[in-house]
Amino acid sequence: MLKIYNTLSRKKELFKAKDNKVGLYVCGITPYDVTHLGHAFTYTFFDVVVRYLRYLGFKVTYVQNLTDIDDDILKKAKELKIGWRLLGEKNTATFLDDNDWLGNLRPDIYPRASDHIGEMIELIKKLVAKKFAYVKNGSVYFSINAFKDYGKLSKLARSKMLYLANQRGNNPKDTNKKNPLDFVLWQKQQPGLPAQAGEPSWPSSWSEGRPGWHIECSAMSTRYLGQPVTIHGGGADLIFPHHESSVAQTEAVTGKRFVSYWLHTAMLRYHGKKMSKSLGNLLLISDLRKKYSANVIRLYLLSHYYRKVWSADLKDLIKAEKLNLLFKRIWRMPSGLGQPLNINHLKIDFFNSLANDINTPQAIKYLEKLCFKIIESDKATNINDAKLFLSQAFSLLGLKIEFI
């Protein structure tokens, strides 16, 4: 019986899905740069979530969006003097190639924000009509005071909200706003912005402009998965303001629960700070894959519990390399013709680890114990069942069977 930690309730909950159908939406990248280890941690974890849910018999529809229109992309495109769409397509191709190399399954649906402007405009119209949003000088803003439950996901004080929002793109000095925490739903195109980057705009009844960041995910997730979305996930840095605002605007429109279970991966730190493109303290997958195998990187990532903040240390990759060598040794061992090796308790422990909030580090430790038990067994012992289970476990964790 699977239990997962729900960010909304701040506790582990028994996982249930109507008719065994699971809609999983994971916030994707903003492709103004390429894939770093922090990205890989999040998307590799959710890849295991998908594999495990399907193993349990759930019918999973996995949606991961692409925020291909955003202030960061326009800024980067201006710096590089190339078109925003070309920049996004180039970095998206690199991101997908890195994830393929890591062994992550492609999402069933991979929508681009720029292909869903119509749905965003319709959502904004409904918010304005219901007086959850207001129009000022061609731009549209969500009024957080109109939604009484604003803050129920992040559970932050308003002062902390404003601090975080200002770090993540909010402009508290925008004179169009009634409240400095009100967020943009539709942004009027401003004169003098990066013309050489080809700043895009779309027509609306309010102005020529483009959507705000938060409305994008509300439109795409409900478009493909309806309501409630079974699981919505991403990095913990998205809890506020992005996911908090997504809850508010979606539930304001429909009056229904937006998401049943919220899953968030903890932040990865490097050189004492959160690993992020904005800080520039990155370990890029494109560099790591030159030296390490996909299995090594994957074992390295999954050896960290998804809800616990951790610091990247390249010395720990040595441990992952040794573990991968141990697995290779097992695959090369002859099966033996004697009595089967009893591994029932290790199988139970492995699956219990995954059932307990998808604890991959603990699950991997039991696989390591299995390997040592195989090595210590008599040469005549039949290890076919042990190898069969290990193969099944590898499939669940997205690892490849390697002999050399």
Tens of pLDDT, residues 285-308: 999 999 999 999 999 999 999 999
Q: How many domains does the chain have?
A: 2
- 244 and 299 in one domain? no
C-alpha dihedral (252, 148, 131, 144), degrees to nearest 10: -100
> What six digits make up the tokens of 141?
């803003």
Structure tokens at 266: 């903890």
CA nearest 41: which of 109, 113, 107, 98? 98
- Rounded to an integer, the average pLDDT of 37-41 is 95
> Do 221 and 287 lie in a common domain?
no
Question: What is the token pair recorded at 264?
Answer: 């968030």
pLDDT of residue 196: 42
pLDDT value for 279: 67
What pLDDT was estimated at residue 192?
Answer: 59
Is the CB of residue 331 less than 8 Å from the CB of residue 402?
A: yes
* 63 lies in the same domain as 109: yes
Residue 194's pLDDT is what?
45
Name which of 181, 159, 185, 160 is nearest 172 in CA terms: 181
The answer on 292 and 229 residing in a single domain is no
- Per-residue model confidence (pLDDT) at position 33: 83
Reduce the DSSP state of residue 234 to 3 states and report it: strand
Strand pairing category for 21-26 and 229-235:
parallel
What gap in Å lies between CA 127 and CA 177, rounded to an integer? 16
Q: Is 285 domain-assigned?
A: yes
Residue 402 lies in a domain: no
Whether the model clears a pTM of 0.75, i.e. scores above it, the answer is: yes
207 in the same domain as 157: yes
Q: What's the rounded Cα separation, in Å, for the pair 103 and 91?
A: 19
- Please identify, among 224, 249, 265, the residue that sits at the C-terminal boundary of a domain: 265
287/374 same-domain check:
yes
Q: Are residues 241 and 278 in the same domain?
A: no
| Sign of the dihedral through C-alpha 143, 148, 150, 156 | positive
Q: What is the pLDDT of residues 222-268, one digit of tens each?
A: 999 999 999 999 999 999 999 999 999 999 999 999 999 999 999 99
Same domain, 142 and 22: yes
At 278, the pLDDT band (50, 70, 90 cuts) reads low
Which residue range forms the structural domain that includes residue 285? 273-397
Percent of the chain residues topping a pLDDT of 90 = 84
d(CA 172, CA 146): 18
**pLDDT tens digits for range 184-227:** 999 998 775 544 446 799 999 999 999 999 999 999 999 999 99
Q: In this structure, is residue 77 part of a structural domain? A: yes
Q: Which of 215, 239, 265 is the C-terminal boundary of a domain?
A: 265
CATH classification at residue 355: 1.10.730.10
Confirm whether 16 is domain-assigned: yes
Q: Could you tell me which residues come within 8 angstroms of residue 311 by beta carbon, excluding any fewer than 6 positions away? A: 268, 269, 270, 272
**Range 7-14 contact pairs with CB under 8 angstroms and sequence separation of 24 or more:** 7/153, 7/239, 7/262, 7/263, 7/264, 8/152, 8/153, 8/259, 8/261, 8/262, 10/155, 12/356, 12/357, 13/261
Region 382-398: what's the mean pLDDT?
A: 97
Do 118 and 51 belong together in one domain? yes
Q: What is the pLDDT of residues 337-348, one digit of tens each?
A: 889 999 999 999
pLDDT tens digits along 52-108: 999 999 999 999 999 998 888 888 888 898 899 999 999 999 999 999 999 999 999
The SS3 assignment for 371 reads helix
Q: What is the pLDDT of residue 195?
A: 44
Residues 24 and 92 in one domain: yes
Q: Please list, in sequence order, all residues whose beta carbon lies within 8 angstroms of the beta carbon of residue 34, skipping any fewer than 6 positions away.
A: 91, 94, 95, 98, 284, 285, 286
Indicate if 36 and 141 belong to the same structural domain: yes
CATH code of the domain in which 122 resides: 3.40.50.620
Check whether residue 156 and residue 279 sit in a common domain: no
| Average pLDDT of the residues in 145-150 | 97
Mean pLDDT, rounded, of the chain: 94
Could you tell me the two tokens for 57? Answer: 């018999």
Q: CA 259, CA 111: separation in Å to the nearest integer?
A: 19
Question: Does some domain include residue 403?
Answer: no
Tokens representing residue 213 in the block: 């960041």
In Å, what is the CA distance from 248 to each residue of 70, 142, 233, 260, 261?
A: 21, 9, 16, 14, 16
Band the pLDDT of 179: cuts 50, 70, 90: very high
Q: With 60 as the cut, is the pLDDT of residue 110 above it?
A: yes
| DSSP designation for 106 | P
The answer to whether position 42 is within a domain reads yes
Domain boundary among 210, 243, 265: 265
Within a domain: 404: no
